[in-house]
A and B are shown apart, each in its own frame.
Chain A
């Protein structure tokens, strides 16, 4: 097999997909992730494709256990997302999907920060089309807000990289840490893409506005690239433990009152990222393994949930919990797949979340963070309530909304089936996943204690759901917008900006009038002296020119003499 960097294969593939139509395009779409994964399989660990840029050495392909795990994960995610979107007749989405996946692969295999920066910006630029392709005004507005935040993240990263280059003279992407200004800037850039609290809003704003198929790509790549980058650059940075714990708690309340089911999934995505961020902050072998393993499982089960909700959206045209219900009657296969995803994210024994989430929790206790452990436990109990039960219940059960649809096309069902199988396989037989994790470890997820404790937690969480619903405490699903951190940009700052513009344009008018009248005066002045009757416009006779020359000569002679 020829050795090629995965991003190169994806970018060339995107070009071929753009140039072809029909069955040939389908073949290219499927071939790109498969061919690239096979090619990656033949590349040994180490640095490849080293390029010199000015004085710096760029490594386009660094293969080690950490990058390889994310590399295979992204190939898998790209394949599932491509299959899910095969029925779509939209060149923009197909091409940008492949470019986006390729950029993510470029980022995880980047051995230096300059390559990482380029991939970082490519991620932003390629993914925005998956939101724009929805072609609604609200999606376009959200896409522009998304792009602005992503590009700002890239600029902060660039600033950090430049400061670091100045400090160290090397662009190598190894442990960075927070002990320098450059490190802090890079941390902030990673934090924006990882949806740290208060920097998270682009995710819950834009992902639910993407196309049903675009959301599958989006849910897989950007945030997981950030998790990878944090695991590479900031393992064991203690502040991440607290940031991660906050990320597991605050989205719960938002997810709970949110009506748009894809937005519920976006909030739950931040919650799951929180587990990974805690693991990276703890920094032990077990914790990093847990974080990375959970990233793997999360991409698959969150993808599955987004696919099932994408199926609901594309088959019924609706996605709000208040509009849906009773779909199990007409979309039975989608219902089953959605439930598998819901059980996996809830970490039910024998489903994938169970074998990875607990590693982070065990590590939190081992490292002496009992309060953080309690926060994670709090989150584990409520995630079952607000995603594990809420998503399938309101879409497929609850009251019958009267909507009758059909299960989606075969390719969409196939992609969901693939993801569901992986969820069950990784849950029931986690050893393959464990063997791919970056550090060797001995962890046994299926102990009596773990299975019993988790079953108690989840079953009583379900019991609480039933009790609250039967007793009428459960608030109804309502249409509306819940204000979040983006409020500050979209209301007060927006008001300041528009007011400044308005006041500015009024003063601008005054200023323009002043300038215009001054220019008019100037014009009249020039006209008076240079116009047809002006002093500079008179035609002089050659005799007077000779007179002037004589005067000048006389003056110069006089000066010389003196």
Chain B
């Protein structure tokens, strides 16, 4: 079948031996991207001082509610998922064969 799993066209160990460096190969560009993210975070957080959000939900009117909620949710999910993985994760052959039955 034509679409079944062709081998990758080339496979080096670091992938950068014979090709020009790409955007995220430079640590400076990675840092710039992150700084851009920090800037926008600060911007939307700061806008809470200025913009009077239309409030309907519980605790929605608290200062910085959405920002803090978004941050807290993701940290919670990661911490819970780390523990959950210990309970749920099995080897790939758990159901027999290569993940087969």
A residues neighboring B (CB under 8 Å): 87-90, 133-135, 137-138, 141, 145, 211-213, 252-254, 256-257, 313-318, 326, 328-330, 362, 365, 370, 373-374, 377-378, 381-382, 385-386, 397, 400-406, 447-449, 452-468, 473-475, 478-484, 490
Contact in complex: B99, A464 (CB < 8 Å) = no
Task: Judge whether A404 and B10 touch: CB under 8 Å.
Answer: yes
Q: Tell me which residues across on chain B come within 8 A of A449, comparing CB atoms.
A: 51, 53-54
Complex alpha-carbon distance, A560 and B12, angstroms? 111
Distance in Å: Cβ of A147 to nearest Cβ of chain B:
14
List 28 interface pairs A-B (beta carbons < 8 Å), by A numbering: A133-B1, A134-B4, A135-B1, A137-B97, A137-B98, A138-B100, A145-B101, A317-B6, A330-B9, A362-B56, A370-B58, A381-B73, A404-B15, A455-B40, A455-B44, A459-B44, A460-B41, A460-B67, A464-B70, A468-B75, A473-B75, A474-B78, A480-B89, A480-B91, A481-B94, A482-B88, A483-B94, A484-B88
Residue ID in chain B nearest A88 by CB atoms: B3
- The answer for the CA separation of A316 and B5 in the assembled complex, in Å, is 7
Q: A257-B88, A328-B22 are in contact. List 9 more A-B contacts (CB 8 A).
A: A138-B101, A318-B8, A382-B73, A400-B25, A404-B11, A461-B74, A467-B75, A481-B95, A481-B99
Contact A253 B80 (CB under 8 A): yes
Assess whether A141 is in contact with B101, with CB atoms less than 8 Å apart.
yes
How long is the Cα–Cα vector from A102 to B51 in the complex, in angstroms? 50
Q: Given that A138-B97, A385-B74 are contacting pairs, would A462 and B37 also be in contact in the complex, using a CB cutoff of 8 Å?
A: yes
| A460 with B77: CB separation less than 8 A | no
Q: Which A residues are CB-close (under 8 A) to B13? A: 402
**A382 — which chain B residues lie within 8 A by C-beta?**
73-74, 77
Q: Which residues of A contact B4 (CB under 8 A)?
A: 134-135, 314
A446 CA to B34 CA, complexed, in Å: 27
Q: Is the CB of B78 within 8 A of A490?
A: no
Within the complex, what minimum Cβ distance (angstroms) separates B76 from chain A?
9
Q: Does chain A have a CB within 8 A of B85? A: yes
Q: A459 with B85: in contact, given A141-B101, A253-B77, A329-B15 (CB under 8 Å)? A: no
- A134, A406, A468, A490: the one contacting B74 at CB < 8 Å is A468
Chain B, residue nearest A370 (CB):
B58
Known contacts A141-B100, A328-B24, A381 near B74 by CB under 8 Å: yes
| B53 A461 Cβ-Cβ under 8 A | no
Interface positions of B from 16 to 56, Cβ below 8 Å from A:
16, 19, 22, 24-25, 34, 37-38, 40-41, 44-45, 47-48, 51, 53-54, 56
B residues bordering A, Cβ < 8 Å? 1-16, 19, 22, 24-25, 34, 37-38, 40-41, 44-45, 47-48, 51, 53-54, 56-58, 60, 64, 66-71, 73-75, 77-82, 84-85, 88-92, 94-95, 97-101
Q: B2 to A475, Cβ gap below 8 A?
A: no
Q: How far is the CA of A313 from the CA of B5 in the complex (A)?
A: 7
Beta-carbon contact of A137 and B100 below 8 Å: yes
Is A315 a contact of B66 with CB atoms below 8 Å? no
When C-beta atoms are compared, the residue in chain B nearest to A139 turns out to be B100
A-B pairs with beta carbons under 8 A, tally: 209
Q: How far is the CA of A464 from the CA of B66 in the complex (A)?
A: 13
A546 to chain B, nearest CB (A): 75
CB distance from B2 to the nearest CB of A (A): 5
Give chain A nearest CB distance to B31 CB in angstroms.
11
- In the complex, are the beta carbons of A463 and B38 less than 8 A apart? yes
A441 to B44, CA, bound (A): 30
Choose from A313, A458, A481 the contact partner of B92 (Cβ within 8 Å): A481
A459 lies within 8 A of B77 (CB): no
- Chain B residues contacting A490 (CB-CB under 8 Å) are 95, 101
A397-B24 contact in complex given A253-B81, A374-B57, A463-B38, C-beta closer than 8 Å: yes
Residues of A contacting B8 with CB < 8 Å? 316-318, 403-405
Contact B15 A457 (CB under 8 A): no
Instruction: Answer whether A385 and B77 are a contact pair too, CB < 8 Å, given A456-B44, A457-B69.
Output: yes
Of B70, B80, B88, the contact of A457 (CB 8 Å cutoff): B70
What is the CB-to-nearest-CB distance from A512 to chain B, in angstroms, rounded to a whole number? 29
The residue in chain A whose Cβ has the minimal distance to the Cβ of B78 is: A468
Question: Which B residues are in CB contact (< 8 Å) with A474?
Answer: 78
| A480:B90 contact, CB within 8 angstroms | yes
Residues of B close to A404: CB separation below 8 A: 8-12, 15
How many Å lie between the Cα of A213 and that of B10 in the bound state? 24
Of all chain A residues, the one with the shortest Cβ separation from B81 is A256
How far is A13 from B73 in the complex, measured between Cα atoms in Å? 48
Interface contact A461-B73, CB-CB below 8 Å: yes
Contact B89 A138 (CB under 8 A): no
Give the nearest-CB partner of B6 in chain A: A317
CB distance from B55 to the nearest CB of A (A): 8
The answer to whether B34 and A473 have CB atoms under 8 Å apart is: no
Of A90, A405, A457, A483, most B-chain CB atoms within 10 Å = A457
